[in-house]
Amino acid sequence: MKSLLKSRQHELLPATPPPGTRAPHAVSISAAQRVQAAELWVAVHLSQPAVLETLAAAALQYTPRVSLEPPDGLLFEIRSSLLLFGGVQGLCADFRTRCGTGLEGAVLSLAPTPLAALALARAGSPVCIDDTTQLAGAVAGLPLRALRWSDDTLTRLLSMGVRTIGEAQRLPRAGFARRFGPELLVCLDRLLGRRSDPRSAFRLRERFRAMRELYYETSAQDRIMAVVQLMLREMEAFLRQRQCGVTVLELRLMHRGDVPDTRCLLRLALPQHLAEEFAHLLQEHLARLRLPAPVRSCRLRTGRLLELASASGGLWQPGEHGGVATLQIPAFIERLRARLGNEAVYGVCLVPGHRPEAAWGITEPELKSTRPQVAPDWSPQHRPLWLLREPRQLVLRAERPCHHGHPVQLIDGPERVETGWWEGRDIGRDYYVARGAQGEKLWVFRERNGAHHWFLHGLFG
């Protein structure tokens, strides 16, 4: 790999094929005649296939054109990124630094076509070919097994005395296609860039999942959190790479035998990605839990990834000149839910309907700044915020409804509500805004059917 990191100049390329082979094209040409390829692909041949997806995620830092070549290969195109990382030397060095031990024993090769780079890496040739005129000579001496053709095809070619890629290229094209099929001829054309070579793009996972086994079973919260924090740091790196956050996080604590898993579910008011914030909330959850048995393993899973909107502080501090501590509200909501439970802290929303008791519903706590507020397509009349759980019947005196023994004064209305017949809960009411003897504003209604009783249904602030 030392030759790869010296420079991008063409002295990195072994300009002559290995002994005993012939190149189909001359490669000893002057620097003025060399032609820079439009693309430059990096191929990684791995000795640890288990880290393939991790290395692919690291390659996305340089280009979106990343492709997996399972079980032991990785490809990514870097031509447009070379200036940003100081050329081939700088980019490869940065890639090795990012991947760390994941690249131990790996071979990196660079070539203008993905198949050529992959064949060079599989053959153990860590070279950089940045010149299309030298490509044919560089791959001519490679063994055919570097193309991963079938054993039957390799055996038949070997019986004809064909062992290398250069020898296969010199065979008559028409006869080669008849004997071995046009697919292998297309493969050779893609190797030298005579045909396009589309590759399936690698896509990052859209949710984070991790599982860790404890060294020994334990019920101690600090030891459980030590393992959870390792997964949270992995999750933070996962989210930072995607510039996303999550509002739902599930932690499962697994026990021995038939004991059901202990489940901790976090629901946040705003998308979050910091491991430290999640750790504080999970500690609050674990403090309220009573574990049925010692924990033997932990599993962490996120909900759907959401765009992470960066927030800036206000010009004024909270409390001065109208400054509002909006950034503290999500953290306050999340801490309350961690201590009291998700069911104890919720938001309310309007539901299209005319029955007051059915015109609102429970929803997730949400800040007004997180989503544009859309006015409903129906406009209810002026209604109070506080509704009684059940309407309270009012006593009549001189045909006037009374509240706390005193007649009320009707100041606005009626608002007629007749609905619910399709659900078997038909109602007919005339609602009024009334004023009590102490100046309080009441929301009362009179039945339109039956005995025409008066009821108190709500109070205005």
**CA-to-CA dists, residue 223 to 1, 216, 282, 377, angstroms:** 43, 10, 13, 53
Tell me how long the chain is. Answer: 461
Phi first, then psi: give them for residue 310, nearest 5 degrees.
-70, 140
C-alpha to C-alpha distance for 296 and 162, rounded to whole angstroms? 57
CB 307 within 8 Å of CB 221 = no
Phi first, then psi: give them for residue 338, nearest 5 degrees.
-65, -35
Model confidence pTM above 0.75: no
pLDDT tens digit at each of 461 positions of the chain: 444 433 333 333 333 444 444 333 333 333 333 456 789 999 999 988 888 988 998 999 899 999 999 889 999 999 999 999 999 999 999 999 999 888 888 999 999 999 999 999 999 999 999 888 899 999 999 999 999 999 999 999 999 999 999 999 999 999 999 999 999 999 999 999 999 999 999 988 788 999 999 988 998 988 999 999 999 999 998 898 788 899 899 999 999 888 999 998 888 878 889 999 899 889 888 888 889 999 999 999 999 888 876 656 555 665 555 555 455 666 677 777 777 777 777 777 777 777 787 777 777 776 554 444 444 544 455 778 788 888 899 988 888 899 888 889 898 878 888 887 777 677 888 999 999 888 889 999 998 887 889 999 988 87
The closest of 131, 116, 130, 129 to 33, measured between CA atoms, is 131
Angle at 457 between CA 454 and CA 461, to 5 degrees: 130
C-alpha to C-alpha distance for 241 and 375, rounded to whole angstroms? 36
C-alpha to C-alpha distance for 265 and 290, rounded to whole angstroms? 15
Angle at 73 between CA 72 and CA 76, to 5 degrees: 155
CB 118 within 8 Å of CB 43 = yes
**CA-to-CA dists, residue 156 to 143, 177, 274, 331, angstroms:** 14, 14, 58, 69
Mapping DSSP to helix (H, G, I), strand (E, B) and coil, where does residue 241 land? helix
Longest Cα–Cα distance of the chain, Å, equals 119
Mapping DSSP to helix (H, G, I), strand (E, B) and coil, where does residue 209 land? strand
Q: Residue with structure tokens 């062992």?
A: 163
Helix (H) or strand (E) holding 302: strand 295-302
C-alpha 301: how far from its chain's center? 11
Phi first, then psi: give them for residue 164, nearest 5 degrees.
-115, 165
Q: Within a 10 A sphere around the Cβ of 440, how many other Cβ atoms? A: 14
CB 62 within 8 Å of CB 76 = yes
The closest of 147, 177, 182, 183 to 165, measured between CA atoms, is 147
Which structure tokens are listed for 440? 């309080």
